[in-house]
């Protein structure tokens, strides 16, 4: 290595050495009271973790006992709880290993997490968690994020799930005194004393154990989630639908609350016993209208007695129907996609199909798109729905097919607030500054029903000199030509000119000659 020819005076060397020592002292100036406080927090968190562990173990034991007594009902929940415990313990042990690595880095190979010697070491945590090509801090962040997603997937309660996600959040952090957000790992371990880093990891273990406890409590509650506790018995009629189309089938389940599967009730409808023990009542209505029916359930009890529980219900039979409407207007326009809404009351959308004459009809999510090619020829939309496993024709709807109306040419400009506006001629006029900033003219149908852009191909501007002679200037496609812009600059306030011979083509491929517009300069 080459030598430095710049020689420093003894005084300058002393100043430099004092600066280095002072900087080191400032970096290491962590109050012993603060370090003692971290130690006390660490001890408290460790005790809390032990208490939470005992609680979680008790919940798991309850699930294990119930699963042994009633495997059909409890085994699957115990299996899920055991998986939660296994995954949690893996995360917990990984965090323990990281604490040990940090302490060893600070105190040597004999380092003990329970008795940290160099508690104020500011480099060990950063070296262990943030250095290397695969930093351990980033790996831990990914593990916590994955664990949080796993636990949250077991929590149907949105409030509890949100609490877990907040407790185990690994989002970037904006620390006081920094300009931008730091990664989760940097915010936790960068320039942290060893005792602080170990305490933060113990707190993370506490959050993991808390999340485990919430998940285990949820799984324990799910054991009895399907049970219904009642103090009286009632009969219920549960129809698949109270409206039935002629030719369709009416289906209803007649059930008793808290039915014992070993002693199903006998069910009678209009004096006739049902031919199945599932409480399924079906009938094929032959006419439209409203129909009532009634009956009772006979329930045997362990003492040999039988109780009777009456019920009644009704259903309505309607003619096949469907609703078909054009979203934009009661017509279809040739050469463009027309949004169409098709629905059949009481029938799932995915079981509805449709076709169209004079064009194509395609499904787009829950809606349809019709595209007729010919003007003047009707488009007939036919709707079919699957009823009781077979297709049934619902309705036909006829639409008139028209050519798209002509668009309106306009000059697009931005006002002083940056809002885009359209000048379509006449009125109070167009400020000259806006006119000079506009690149050209555009054309569109924007009448609230149709919002369709057209492509302008060419146009002319017509100016009048002091003698009244017309001076036409040709555009550069849809843009103002240089000669047109020069003419704009010569216009004074109150002068006007005309934009004519506007040719534009729409999405239907038809080229149109548009009406001229009068431009007043103000």
Residue 11 lies inside a defined structural domain of this protein: no
Answer yes or no: are the C-beta atoms of 204 and 170 closer than 8 Å: no
pLDDT at 449: 72
Residue 45 lies inside a defined structural domain of this protein: yes
Would you place residue 40 in the very low, low, confident or very high pLDDT band (cuts 50, 70, 90)? confident
pLDDT > 70? residue 230: no
Asked if 351 and 487 sit in the same domain, the reply is: no
Task: Report which secondary-structure segment, H or E, holds 211.
Answer: helix 194-223
Highest mean pLDDT: which of 247-261, 279-293, 369-383?
369-383
pLDDT at 237: 73
Separation of alpha carbons 305 and 233, rounded Å: 15
Of the residues 385, 402, 419, the one at which a domain ends:
402
Highest mean pLDDT: which of 157-161, 222-226, 383-387, 475-479?
475-479
pLDDT tens for each residue of 287-300: 877 788 999 988 77
pLDDT at 21: 46
Section 315-338 average pLDDT: 75
Answer yes or no: are the C-beta atoms of 441 and 478 closer than 8 Å: yes
- Work out the end-to-end distance of the chain between its first and last CA atoms, rounded to an integer number of angstroms: 76
Residue 256 lies inside a defined structural domain of this protein: yes
Weakest mean pLDDT among 137-146, 441-450, 498-507: 441-450
Asked if 353 and 478 sit in the same domain, the reply is: no
Asked if 434 and 391 sit in the same domain, the reply is: no
Number of domains within the chain? 4
Residue 81 lies inside a defined structural domain of this protein: yes
Q: Strand 250-256 relative to strand 235-239: parallel, antiparallel, unpaired?
A: antiparallel
Residue 511 lies inside a defined structural domain of this protein: yes
Would you place residue 55 in the very low, low, confident or very high pLDDT band (cuts 50, 70, 90)? very high
pLDDT at 22: 43
pLDDT > 70? residue 337: yes
Q: Name the token pair of 484.
A: 């047109």
Neighbours of 264 (CB within 10 A): 17
Residue 230 lies inside a defined structural domain of this protein: no
Question: 261 or 444: whose pLDDT is higher?
Answer: 444
Asked if 66 and 196 sit in the same domain, the reply is: yes
What percentage of the chain reaches a pLDDT higher than 70?
A: 83
HEC string of 61-89 equals: HHHHHHHHHCHHHHHHHHHHHHHHHHHHH
Asked if 503 and 421 sit in the same domain, the reply is: yes
pLDDT > 80? residue 301: no
Asked if 425 and 515 sit in the same domain, the reply is: yes
Dihedral sign for Cα atoms in the order 93, 95, 98, 104:
negative
pLDDT at 8: 54
pLDDT tens for each residue of 258-292: 656 656 788 999 999 988 877 888 888 888 777 88
Asked if 154 and 276 sit in the same domain, the reply is: no
Asked if 93 and 205 sit in the same domain, the reply is: yes
Domain that holds residue 425: 408-520
Across 93-179, the runs of DSSP E, i.e. the strands, are: none
pLDDT > 50? residue 335: yes
Separation of alpha carbons 274 and 372, rounded Å: 53
Separation of alpha carbons 497 and 135, rounded Å: 70
Residue 2 lies inside a defined structural domain of this protein: no
pLDDT at 412: 93
Asked if 58 and 170 sit in the same domain, the reply is: yes
Please report how the helices 194-223 and 71-107 are oriented relative to each other, as an axis angle in degrees rounded to 10.
180
Separation of alpha carbons 105 and 126, rounded Å: 10
Separation of alpha carbons 196 and 388, rounded Å: 67
SS3 content of the chain, % helix, strand, coil (to 5): 35, 30, 35
Q: Name the token pair of 419.
A: 């809002």
pLDDT at 256: 66
pLDDT > 90? residue 485: yes
Of the residues 201, 223, 245, the one at which a domain ends:
223
Asked if 104 and 190 sit in the same domain, the reply is: yes
Section 343-371 average pLDDT: 87
Of the residues 402, 428, 452, the one at which a domain ends:
402
Asked if 169 and 197 sit in the same domain, the reply is: yes
- 354: buried, middle or exposed (CB in 10 Å: 19+, 13-18, 0-12)? buried
Asked if 490 and 373 sit in the same domain, the reply is: no
DSSP per residue over 302-318, as a string?
Answer: TTS-EEEEEEEEEEEEE
Place of tokens 């006119």: 435
Residue 150 lies inside a defined structural domain of this protein: yes
Q: What is the CATH number of the domain that holds 246?
A: 2.60.40.10
């Amino acid at each position: 290595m080459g030598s430095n020819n710049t020689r420093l005076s003894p005084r300058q060397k002393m100043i430099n050495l004092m600066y280095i020592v002072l900087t080191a002292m400032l970096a290491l100036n962590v109050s012993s009271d603060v370090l003692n406080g971290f130690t006390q927090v660490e001890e408290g968190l460790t005790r809390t973790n032990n208490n939470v562990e005992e609680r979680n173990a008790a919940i798991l034991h309850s699930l294990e006992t119930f699963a042994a007594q009633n495997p059909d009902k409890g085994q699957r929940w115990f299996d899920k709880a055991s998986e939660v415990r296994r995954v949690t313990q893996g995360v917990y042990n990984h965090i323990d290993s990281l604490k040990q690595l940090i302490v060893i880095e600070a105190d040597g190979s004999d380092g003990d997490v329970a008795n940290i010697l160099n508690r104020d070491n500011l480099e060990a945590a950063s070296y262990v968690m943030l250095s290397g090509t695969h930093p351990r801090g980033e790996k831990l962040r990914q593990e916590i994020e994955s664990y949080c997603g796993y636990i949250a997937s077991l929590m149907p309660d949105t409030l509890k799930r949100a609490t877990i996600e907040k407790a185990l959040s690994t989002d970037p952090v904006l620390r006081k005194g920094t300009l931008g957000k730091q990664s989760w790992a940097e915010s936790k371990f960068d320039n942290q004393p060893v005792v602080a880093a170990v305490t933060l990891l113990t707190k993370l273990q506490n959050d993991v154990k808390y999340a485990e406890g919430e998940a285990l409590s949820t799984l324990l509650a799910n054991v009895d989630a399907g049970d219904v506790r009642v103090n009286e018995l009632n009969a219920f009629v549960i129809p698949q639908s109270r409206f039935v189309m002629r030719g369709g089938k009416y289906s209803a389940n007649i059930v008793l609350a808290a039915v014992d599967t070993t002693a199903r009730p006998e069910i009678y409808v209009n004096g006739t016993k049902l031919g199945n023990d599932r409480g399924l009542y079906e009938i094929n209505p032959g006419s439209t209208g409203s129909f009532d029916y009634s009956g009772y359930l006979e329930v045997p009890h362990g003492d040999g007695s039988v109780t009777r529980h009456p019920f009644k219900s009704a259903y309505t039979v309607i003619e096949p129907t469907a609703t078909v409407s054009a979203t934009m207007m009661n017509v279809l326009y040739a050469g463009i996609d027309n949004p169409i809404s098709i629905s059949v009351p009481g029938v799932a959308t995915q079981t509805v199909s449709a076709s169209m004459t004079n064009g194509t009809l395609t499904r787009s999510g829950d809606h349809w798109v019709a595209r007729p090619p010919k003007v003047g020829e009707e488009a007939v939309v036919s709707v079919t729905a699957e009823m009781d496993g077979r297709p049934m024709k619902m309705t036909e709807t006829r639409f008139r097919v028209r050519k798209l109306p002509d668009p309106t040419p306009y000059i697009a400009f931005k006002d002083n607030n940056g809002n885009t506006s359209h000048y379509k001629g006449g009125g109070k006029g167009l400020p000259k500054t806006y006119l000079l900033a506009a690149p050209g003219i555009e054309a569109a149908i924007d009448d609230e029903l149709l919002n369709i852009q057209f492509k302008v191909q060419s146009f002319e501007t017509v100016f009048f000199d002091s003698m009244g002679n017309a001076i036409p200037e040709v555009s550069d496609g849809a843009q103002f030509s240089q000669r047109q812009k020069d003419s704009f600059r010569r216009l004074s306030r109150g002068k006007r000119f005309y934009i004519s011979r506007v040719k534009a083509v729409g999405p239907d491929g038809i080229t149109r000659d548009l009406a001229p517009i009068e431009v007043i300069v103000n």
